[in-house]
A and B are shown apart, each in its own frame.
Chain A
Amino acid sequence: MRIIISACSVVRDPRATPKPLLQQSSWSSLWHLEAETSEAMSNGSAGSRPPDMTNPGRPRAQESFPEPPLMKAVFTHLSYGILILLGHVCDFLRKLGMKRDPYTEALKNEDLFKMNLDFEMFFTRNIYRRIRDCWNRPIASAPGAYTDLVDRVSDDCNWTFRYTGTKTNCLNLGSYNYLGFAENTGPCADAAYQSTLDYGAGTCSPARELGTLDVHKKLEALVARFVGKPAALVFGMGFATNSMNIPALMGKGDLLISDQLNHASLVTGAKLSGATVRVFKHNNMKSLENVLRRAVTEGQPRRLRAWRKILIVVEGVYSMEGSVCKLAEIVRLKKKYKAYVYLDEAHSIGAMGPTGRGVSEYWGVDPADIDIMMGTFTKSFGAAGGYIAANQDVINYLRGASHSTTYAASVPAPVAQQIITSMTIIMGDDGTKEGEKRVAQLLDNSRYFRQRLTEMNFIVYGNEDSPVVPILLYEPGKVTSFSRELLKKKIAVVVVGFPATSIVEARARICLSASHTRDMLDYALKEINEVGDLLLLKK
C-alpha cells in the first residue's frame, strides 16, 4: 500500500502543503488537512518542543490528544451504521404509510411549503431528533455556577416538548463563564443598570455615524491598556469582529495562513477577504513553517510575484479541543519569514495568564510582537461583542474601513459599561483583590479538574492550563446517556457529537469557571466518576 501511496503522491494539489520526499508516509498527509485531527495534533505536540526562550524558568504545561482506541472507534462506526440503517428503515415505513408521526402529518398538509430537502434532514429527523432533549435546554436564570433548567418532557419521542412547570437548579458546567461574571447582582450589574437609565438600551447607529458614545471611548482606551497595545476598537458582535475586519485588512494578492481548526468567523472573514488561504495542521509548527517557506519561496500562484503580505491567523485557546496555541514559536516564525500574526483570543482573554491578559502573558510574549490581537467579551467579561487591538495606524485605518463601524450598530452602552466594570475588577483597578482571586481560582479549578479526571482514567484532551476540558465519549449512545444521567444528578453539561466534531470524537465539553468552588467540582467529579463506570468511558 505504501508503494501505491508514494507513487500516487506525484499527483498533488498545488494548494496543499508539501511533504518532504524521504519522510515516512503517514496517513495524515496532504489530503487530510480536514481529518484526523487527533493524529495531527499528537504528531505536532509530541516530539520536539523548542525551549521557551522568553521564560526559561516556567514549567511547561502538558498538552495531549490521545488517538481514539481502535476498538472504541470501530464500535462507534458500527453504532452510526446501525442508526443510519434504522433511519432508512423508518423513512421507508413512512413512505409506505405504516409509520405515522408529526413529520408525516406535516407532509400531508398541502399548505406547508417544504423548506428543506428530505435527504438533507435525514440526520436531524432520525438521529438528532431522538436525542435532542440533550441540547438547547432552556434556562431560567443567569448562567452562573448554578443555573435553573426548565423541566420539559416529551410524549412523542422528542418531536414536541411539554413544560411541566417546574425548574431544576443544576450545577452548570457548560457555560462560557470563565471568570464568573455571569451574575445579575454585584457591581457590574449595578453599573449596567445605571447605564441603561442614562443611555438607553442600544445606540441604534453605526460607530461612524452617531454610535460612538463616551463609554465607547473609555472602553477602547481600557481594552488597549488591558491587552497591552497602543489602541483598540470595539464591535457589537464577536463573530462580526472577525468576519467584517479580516476583509478590511486582507485583499487580493495577500496570503492568509490559518490553523486547521479555526473558528467559522475566521474562515468567513478569510473567504470574504479575497485573499489566498492556506491551512496548516492544528498547532503543528513544522506544518506552519512548511507553509510559510513554500509561500515565501514560490510567491503568488500564477504571477510568481511576492505576496503583498502574509498573515498567520491563530486562536489563543481552541474551544473544541482545549488546546493552547504555541505563541512563542509562532512569533519566532513570523519574525523569521516577515509575516504578520492575527491572534483571536475569544476563549483566552481573561482566562489565561497570571493576571488574565491572555495567551501572550501566558507564554511571556511581548504584545508588541503580535500585530493584531482580537478577542471577545462574551466569555470572560459576561458581556457581548469583540475588540481588535493593534497599533494606532491599524486602528485608525480600521475605524474607517471596517464594515462593522460603517454598517453595524455599535456596542450598546449598558454592555460597554458591563465590560468596563468587569475589566476594571480583573485588572484590580477597583482597589480590591477580586480580579486576582478570580483568575487564580480559574487556573486552580482547571488544573484540579483535569488532573482528577485523568487520575480517574477518563480520556481528556487539551492543555493542562486551559479552562475547557473535553471528555471523550465516542459512541453516540454514550453521548446521550452521559448528558441524561448527569442531568438526573442535577449537573448540566454540554455534549457535542457528529457532525459538529469528527465522527469518532464525540465529547462532553466542560467549561470551568472561577465561580465554581472546590466542593462543587468534587460533587461533579464524584457523579462523573459514577457515570463513567456505568457507561464504560474509562480507559
Chain B
Amino acid sequence: MQVMSATAITNPNASWLNTRGMWLGYLTSVAILHFILLSVPLFSTAMAWTLTHVVHNVGMYIMFHHMKGTPYPTGDQGDVRRLTNWEQIDNGHQYTPTRIFLTSVPIFLFFLASFYTFHDRAHVTVNLIALAVGVIPKFPALHKFRLYGINRY
C-alpha cells in the first residue's frame, strides 16, 4: 500500500463507501453485531435489539460525525482535515446513493427495534434518542455545522 502516490483521486475517503460490496459488508457487520448481542444470555430479545440500535448509532456517530480528517495523508494538502467523514463523502455532494443508504440504515433499525420491543415506552424513548443521534447529523442543512464550536478543531 503506497501511502504516498501520484494519483488524481486526492481523497479516497470520498469514494471508498461507494465501492462494490460496501453495502452488503456494512449490513453484514450490523448483523454480526446483532448476533453477538443476542448470544449474551443476560439480554432479552428486546434488549438486544435496542442495544444493537443504540450501539450502531453511537458507533456510526463516532465514525462518521466525530472523527475528522483522514487516517492517511491525502493529496489535497489537508483540505479535508476539519471535515468529518460524513462531510467528505462524495466530496460534499448531497443526496447521493451512499448518503441515502447510510441515512436509511438507522431508520430501518429503529423500525425493527420498535417492533421487536413491542413498542414498550422505555425502549421507544431510548430508541428515539438513538435515532436522533443517528439521523440528525446527516441532514444536508447541517453540512459543516458545528454546535457551539464543539469538534471544530
Contact = CB atoms under 8 A, between A and B. Distances in A.
Contacts, number: 143
Interface stretch (A34-42, A95-103, A290-298, A347-355): A34-42
A74 interface: yes
A128 B91 CA distance: 25
Interface string B1-31: 1110111110010111011111011101100
A-B pairs with lowest CB-CB distance, top 8: A73-B21, A77-B25, A35-B15, A264-B6, A122-B71, A35-B18, A123-B72, A497-B1
Nearest to B16: A503
16 contacts: A5-B100, A27-B18, A35-B14, A35-B15, A70-B20, A73-B22, A77-B21, A77-B26, A84-B71, A123-B72, A262-B8, A265-B6, A266-B8, A479-B1, A496-B2, A499-B3
Contacts of A70: 20-21, 24
B67 interface: yes
A476 B12 CA distance: 16
Nearest to B92: A13
Chain B CB within 10 A, most for which of A35, A73, A120, A505 = A35
A498 B1 contact: yes
A105 to B, nearest CB: 22
B75 to A, nearest CB: 7
B94 A124 contact: no
A499 B72 CA distance: 8
B63 to A, nearest CB: 9
Interface in B31-85: 67-73, 75, 81
B24 A74 contact: yes
B87 interface: no
Interface string B84-102: 0000001101111100100
Given A127-B1, A131-B1, A263 B19 contact: no
Contacts of B91: 34
Chain A CB within 10 A, most for which of B21, B67, B81, B93 = B21
Interface residues of B, number: 39
Nearest to B94: A11
Interface of A: 1, 4-5, 8, 11, 13, 27, 29, 31-32, 34-36, 38-39, 67-68, 70-74, 76-78, 81, 84, 116-117, 119-124, 127-128, 131, 135, 239, 258, 260-267, 320, 476, 479, 496-500, 502-506
Nearest to B96: A31
B19 A120 contact: no
A116 B22 CA distance: 30
Given A27-B97, A39-B20, A123-B71, A264 B12 contact: no
Given A120-B72, A261-B8, A73 B20 contact: yes
A264 B29 CA distance: 35
B100 A1 contact: yes
A258 B9 CA distance: 13
Contacts of B22: 73, 77
B93 A31 contact: yes
A11 B95 contact: yes
Contacts of A505: 19
B15 A32 contact: yes
A264 B72 CA distance: 18
A14 to B, nearest CB: 12
B30 to A, nearest CB: 12
B3 A124 contact: yes
Nearest to B2: A500
B7 A500 contact: yes
Contacts of A32: 15, 18, 90, 96
A284 to B, nearest CB: 16
Contact of B25 (A78, A116, A499): A78
